[in-house]
Structure 1
Amino acid sequence: MNNLKHLKASHVLKRVEPPHWWAGMYIKKFQLLFYGDHISEYTITCSSDLNILQVEKTQNSNYLFVTLDTSEIQAGMYSFSFQKENLPEFTISYAFKSRVEDSANRTSFDSSDVFYLLMPDRFAHANPLINSVKQLSEKANPYDLNGRHGGDILGIINNLDYLKDLGITTLWCTPLCENNSATGSYHGYAQTDLYKIDARLGTLADYKKLSRELHKRNMRLVIDYVINHWGSEHWLIKDLPNEGWLNQWEHFTNTTHKTTTLIDMNASVFDKDQHEKGWFVSTMPDLNQQNPLVLNYLIQNAIWWIEEAGLDGVRVDTFTYSDKEAAVKWLQAIKAEYPNLNIAGEVWLHNSAQLAYWQKDSKIGQMANYNSQLPCLTDFPLHNALQDIFYAKHKKVKGLESLYETFVNDFFYPSPQNLMRFIENHDTQRFNTQSGGDLNAYKLALTVICTTRGIPQLYYGSEIGMQGDKSNGDGDIRHEFPGGWKKHKQNAFLPLTVKNGRSAYQERFHAFTKKLLNWRKDKPVVHYGKFLHFVPVDNVYVYFRYLGEEKRVMVIINNAKTKKILALQKFAEGLNGSKAGNEILSNQILDLSTKLSVPARTPYIIELT
């Protein structure tokens, strides 16, 4: 009995989530999860200035979900007391913090930004003490393409000046939360604790420092959020609150990856269910967002990270694998809290009309009585066109018609400017492998994604010609960035002129990328201007960006193997009377009065004068 008299909260209570909250949030009904040994058998009371609206018990006695009225709450410490017959009472304190001033009105990314996507484990290493940690299963194994290599948050911070100098404005890291899987944990998409930074990547303090350091450089940080699934080793999945927390099948059922079934008016319920409720892989259980407790957990967790780390946007992984209606509620809750926040969703569809269905306020979606509320989409049709055009194994240079047709389809989208354009990402073939390391192909493709409508996104290493073959597995498209580790003999973060810096090959890619991205930074005409294009002829594609009558940019994509002489009268509508212009890539003044010679396999970006 003496032990019982000294019962502490830690003897019973294992977790409280979220670990803290804020006063003055839009959410007025806030739900706390209490987890501990038979915690539901306790009666809970709280400070007199807190109002409990509901106490919900589940099939599992280790959970209590407590809903509070936070409409009038002030910043400060509050107490919760737990009583159970024949046991001493114990009390815990809970903090409601003050928000950063004007937190709700934070700005976000748009078409003036350039994204840089990196995998933290593969980008740069700084702290050898956390390569492997005792409490997490998988240890460092840098010789395994699918193992952990040791990159960390401090490694990213140490190289922010490199990204700033390159012309990057927004950083997107693949998930950084704990992934305590036995193998393949480096990518972060099988998370096992959504309120904890993976200890092999650093700490919450490191992550918040990353956010602050980016903001000091006038750069943004975007979180990669997964609402569809968690890892099978997630603490909560290993002790489920109730049967309905997951979409469960009699036998393991893989998703069909057929997103089209969700928009197909003729699709069977069986096919829709298997896509939406099937598991992504066997180690990534599918969350049932129709369960109000699950959905509320995901809403509050996403908001917690945005508020806690001062984030500037969200990228949503596998958006179209989640319950459609629940995903809408999740988005609406975040946008209610942060009205200006932009959210980009991974929608892996290759048809423009099908992709457009998923954008907020889409007329195509509304015809089917659906509005996703998702502002920004990943532009896979454009990605596919670029990969196809510059595929090295084509026996002849392929025409630019598929690129042109991609932009023809812009009428499908409510907001073409809010599409994320990319030539590669962490799930696709490396562009520089696809093109056979052809610098000209890279120049042409990068020019397209940096001068057409939408938000350009680079994948780490693109700017130095990094290669890797997806047919060898995902690990081969996720190599270490050269120079990110002390063991590397070469440091591609440094220029060619520095000993052991970039090679001549890497420098050519880097120099072009840096020039183009830094030119783009201060060009509203490219960020927000209207788009005018002409049907490609002889493998030459010409288009214009214009803002009002004064600011105009002419872009020429010559993918032909020979130089082309363009009769400029055809483009009078775009030239709008201009007879000359500054070609920014070659720094030459061009005469645009009658004809223009464009070298083979060359992009031109001409600021009209």
Structure 2
Amino acid sequence: MTFVRDMLSRPRPPRIRHDVQLPRRVAYYPSPVDWRDEVIYFLMVDRFSDGQEDTRPLLDRRYLAAARPALPNGDPWRWDRWALSGGERFQGGTLRGIISKLGYLQRLGITTLWLSPVCKQRVHLDTYHGYAIQDFLDVDPRFGTRQDLVDLVSAAHERGMRVLLDIVFQHTGPNWRYPPDVPGGADMPRYTSGRYPFGSWVDAAGAPLVGIPDVNDAAWPEEMRTIDYYTRAGAGDLGAGAIDDPDAEHKRSDFFTLRDINLDAPGALTDLALCYKYWIALTDCDGFRIDTLKHVSFEQARNFCGTIKEFAANLGKANFFLVGEVAGGDFAATRYLDALERNLNAALDIGEMRLALGDVAKGLAPARAYFDGFVPGLAIMGSHRNLGSRHISILDDHDHVFGTKLRFSTDVMSQHHAAAAVALQLFTLGIPCIYYGTEQALGGPEPSERQWLPEWGRADRYLREAMFGPLHPRASGRAGIDPQALDTSLPGFGPFGTAGHHCFDERFPVYLRIAALAALRAAFPVLRHGRQYLRPISNFNQPFAFPPAGEIVAWSRILDDEEALCVINPNGLAARGGDVVVDAALNRPGDTMTVILNTAQAADPDGYDGLYPKGRQLTVRERNGTSYVEIRNLPPAETLVLTNRP
């Protein structure tokens, strides 16, 4: 396309208003008809792949200690050094690395990638997460180039996959400082309901800028150096104030050292929207995950999302996907979905529902703890979840705003337990999102070693292991832009507390099970679009009732005359079973339901000789007017799916 060729033939534009002529009425890659048909995979660019896994061995999980080498200076492995590496260094993941793993992801059943923010960070800082932007029009050189990002989206589209970019329009990186005499200091002054004076822009080393800014100084594009574009209220309580108060403290406060943007300033919201329209036109991406949406007002969010959607529609992306991160649980997410209406497709389900999903999948809570969240009037967000298209189902993510900061697989009794949790995501209402590494059961080092880890369970770093297993992280600060410059005083933040070993294992039991689950979801529309019913269970001829924690969890999806019955055993140690209710109008006594998936068989298709192989028919029985099928001895953490229309 002319626009893409023009933009990539020269350095990134210094000004968004005067140096970028955005296209219109040009055919880009179209949006999906229904995002419920997608399976999203969220990855952190720095922690996923560097494309050089063929230079490192696959991690042997039986011998983790052997993958904890001494440092080059002879110092032995130290857990505090591994933890420091994970929290304060770029590990070396790149956009090119992601391209090299598209086949791995497609075979897993992924249809949409969600990338952590890729915009350029301050070069003197190690903000590997990407949420501290210095340049809104360029890719961070530690991740790659604009061309790499264009190539990644193009390569995904060639495979029929889509790409979501993670964007930030509520704050910037620490690109300027307050005056030194403000209360609390120049970096993070105490919150004020007024406005502090502006201090100074900072240079590439973080010192006060002297002279005209270079590409690594201050903020870019030039429009973002408008002083009135910043709230300048200091750092306050990020939870203070009412959700619908546009002047609440949580909507004006800096994010610690990250600078809040005053979106009410003339031109500020327009310029930021232009920056992100530029990324749509340049990359042909398919949607945005919008960071910290709770921290802008309803009106600001509505205007930003509206103009983005309208621009995308003019490029043929009529269903450009916008999903909001709204911290604060069901209430806050519901308020933004209601206020923004069609301008916001969905909200990330990162509050109470994420915790319920994990607890039910582990057998720690009864099935209703999760399924009641879909009931309008019973759960605050129930009416939105019941539509199936307004929420993204989340099991794990990169910061766990609710609960402990540990992955689902950190404490499970069965190695493949995560697959049962993902089955709940894939086969219940909503748009499922799998966090990178879930398919490899990432969960940190073995229990005996965790006592040595600082802030275990309380720090985001333990959610962010580097799957590609670098031997060392990149050098700190500006030196780390050179991919050959490594910090050899630290081990890489590799999987399961290792370094120098990757874990892209397509034979791993969780990977195999999730791939089978996702393939079934793709093949049967009932599992994506059907109505949903939690099913009562009976054991030992007792009355049918919703089961307590630890017993099998069963639910049906029904589409027209087709019923798919999904059954998981959340118990990680023991087999479970029961008589499971099915729809009496669709399944008469003597009819059959056919097994279309058994995850135990999917993990061992040639050697499986257990119960309920694919193709087995179960007879529908009747007791006191209730139709049911008998499920017996479903192994720990396994999933069965049956249908009356195989």
TM-score > 0.5 by shorter chain: yes
> 2:235 matched to 1:274?
no
Aligned counterparts of 1:576 and 1:476: Cα–Cα separation in 2: 51
Taking a change above 3 Å as real, the CA distance of residues 166 and 19 of structure 1, as seen in their structure-2 partners, is closer
1:269-303 deviation line (CA, Å, top 9, x unaligned): 8xx52111111122x10111112311001111111
Q: Trace 1:384-399 onto structure 2 (pairs within 5 A).
A: 384-389=355-360, 397-399=364-366
Partner of 1:358: 336
Change (3 A) 1:404 1:573: farther
Q: Do structure 1's residue 597 and structure 2's residue 564 form an aligned pair? A: no
- Give yes or no for contact 1:121–1:149 (8 Å, CA) kept in 2: yes
Amino acid aligned to 1:245: Y
Provide the C-alpha distance between the structure 1 equivalents of 2:462 and 2:510, rounded to a whole number of angstroms: 20
Pick from 557, 564, 569 the counterpart of residue 553 of structure 1: 564
**Structure 1: where are the runs of 5+ without partners?**
1-17, 22-32, 36-63, 67-93, 129-140, 497-506
Matches within 5 A, 1:117-196: 117-126=42-51, 143-180=85-122, 182-196=124-138
How far, CA to CA, are the matches of 1:202 and 1:420 in structure 2?
Answer: 28
> In structure 2, do the counterparts of structure 1 residues 411 and 382 end up closer, same or farther at CA, with 3 Å as the change threshold?
closer
Q: Does 1:296 align with 2:270?
A: yes
State yes or no: 1:406 paired with 2:385. no
Per-residue deviation at 1:449?
A: 0.2
Give the counterpart of 2:328 among 349, 362, 369. Answer: 349
Shift of 1:164: 0.9
> Structure 1 vs Structure 2: percent identity of aligned residues?
21
Name which structure has the greater RCO, CA cutoff 8 Å, separation 6+: 2
In structure 1, how many angstroms separate the alpha carbons of the residues matched to 2:221 and 2:270? 19
Q: Which runs of 5+ in 2 are unaligned?
A: 8-12, 54-82, 176-216, 445-454, 473-491, 493-498, 537-545, 602-612, 622-628
Partners of 2:342 and 2:248 in 1: CA distance: 18
Q: Deviations over 1:36-84 (max 9, x none)?
A: xxxxxxxxxxxxxxxxxxxxxxxxxxxx976xxxxxxxxxxxxxxxxxx
The 8 Å contact of residues 580 and 631 in structure 2, kept in 1 or not, is answered as no
Q: Which residue of 2 aligns with 1:103?
A: 28
The equivalent residue for 1:493 is: 504
1:113 and 2:95 aligned? no
Could you say which residue in structure 2 is the equivalent of 1:257? 239
Q: Is the 8 A contact 1:179 1:188 kept in 2?
A: yes
Conserved? CA contact 2:569–2:635, under 8 Å: yes
> Whole-Å Cα distance in 2 between the matches of residues 331 and 477 of structure 1?
29
Mapped contact 1:327–1:372 kept (Cα < 8 A): no
CA shift in 2, pair 1:575/1:541, >3 Å: farther
Contact 1:288–1:323 under 8 Å retained in 2 = no
Aligned-pair distance for 1:373?
Answer: 2.6
* Distance apart, 1:606 and its partner CA: 1.4
> Structure 1 residues 181, 280: CA separation in 2 closer, same or farther (over 3 Å shift)?
farther
Measured in 2, the distance between the counterparts of 1:122 and 1:482 equals: 7
Q: Give 1:571 shift.
A: 4.7
The answer as to whether partners of 1:437 and 1:465 remain within 8 angstroms in 2 is no
1:214 to 151, 156, 162: 156
Q: Deviations over 1:211-249 (max 9, x none)?
A: 111011110011111111110127338986544311112
Partner secondary structure for residue 247 of structure 1: coil
CA deviation after TM superposition for structure 1 residue 563, in Å: 4.4
Quick one: distance in 1 between partners of 2:524 and 2:372? Answer: 25
* Inter-partner Cα distance in structure 2 for 1:437 and 1:145: 28
Local SS of the residue matching 1:605 = strand
Superposed CA deviations along residues 11-59 of structure 1, whole A, max 9, x for unmatched, are xxxxxxx9978xxxxxxxxxxx976xxxxxxxxxxxxxxxxxxxxxxxx
Amino acid across the alignment from 2:467: F
- Equivalent pair of 1:109/1:170 in contact (CA under 8 Å): no
Pairwise CA distance, 1:519: 2.0
Amino acid corresponding to residue 36 of structure 2 in structure 1 = S
**Alpha carbons 1:224, 1:315 under 8 Å: kept:** yes
CA displacement at 1:591 relative to structure 2:
0.9
Q: Using a 3 Å threshold, how does the CA distance of structure 1 residues 278 and 96 change in structure 2: closer, same or farther?
A: closer
From the superposition, tell whether residues 478 and 105 of structure 1 become closer, same or farther in structure 2 (CA, over 3 Å): closer
What secondary structure is seen at the aligned counterpart in 2 of 1:544? strand
Q: Which amino acid aligns with 2:372?
A: E
The residue correspondences of 1:514-593 to structure 2 (distance < 5 A) are 514-534=515-535, 536-538=546-548, 539-549=551-561, 551-560=562-571, 563-568=575-580, 571-572=583-584, 575=587, 578-585=591-598, 586=601, 587-588=613-614, 589-593=616-620
For 1:295 and 1:20, the matched residues in 2 are separated by 25
Whole-Å separation in 2 of the counterparts to 1:529 and 1:514:
21
In structure 2, do the counterparts of structure 1 residues 371 and 313 end up closer, same or farther at CA, with 3 Å as the change threshold? closer
2-structure distance, mates of 1:294, 1:576: 63
| Distance (Å, rounded) in 1 between the aligned partners of 2:31 and 2:553 | 39
TM-superposed CA distance for 1:196, in Å, is 0.5
Aligned residues: 482
How far 1:523 moved relative to its partner? 2.2
Aligned match for 2:283, one of 288, 295, 309? 309
Contact 2:29 2:284 in 1 (8 A): no
1:444–1:603 Cα contact (<8 Å) kept: yes
Describe the shift of the 1:230–1:384 C-alpha distance in structure 2 as closer, same or farther (beyond 3 A): same
Aligned partner letter, 2:643: E
Match of 2:209? none
Change (3 A) 1:439 1:236: same
Q: CA deviation at 1:96?
A: 4.2
Relative distance call for 1:292 and 1:371 in structure 2 (3 A) is farther
Q: Distance in 2 between matches of 1:244 and 1:470?
A: 41
More strand by share: 1
Distance 1:95 1:293 in 2: 16
CA separation of 1:292/1:528 partners in 2, compared to 1, >3 Å: closer, same or farther?
Answer: farther
Distance in 2, matches of 1:567 and 1:513, equals 26
Q: 2:242 aligns to what SS in structure 1? A: helix
- Change in Cα spacing, 1:189 to 1:34, as seen in structure 2 (3 Å) is closer
TM-score under structure 1 normalisation? 0.71
Q: Corresponding residue for 2:77? A: none
1:435 and 1:441 in contact (8 A); partners too: no
**For 1:348 and 1:95, how far apart are their aligned partners in 2?**
34
Distance 1:185 1:111, change over 3 A: same
State the SS of the aligned residue for 2:114.
strand
Q: In 2 relative to 1, CA 399–341 (structure 1 residues): closer, same or farther, beyond 3 Å?
A: same
Q: Report SS of the residue matched to 1:347.
A: coil
Contact 2:409 2:417 in 1 (8 A): no
User: SS at the partner of 1:227?
Assistant: coil
C-alpha displacement of 1:524: 1.6
Give CA deviations for 1:81-130 in whole Å, capped at 9, x if unaligned.
Answer: xxxxxxxxxxxxx67476684239544770111111111111111489xx
Question: What is the deviation of 1:440?
Answer: 5.3
**1:257 Cα shift?**
3.0
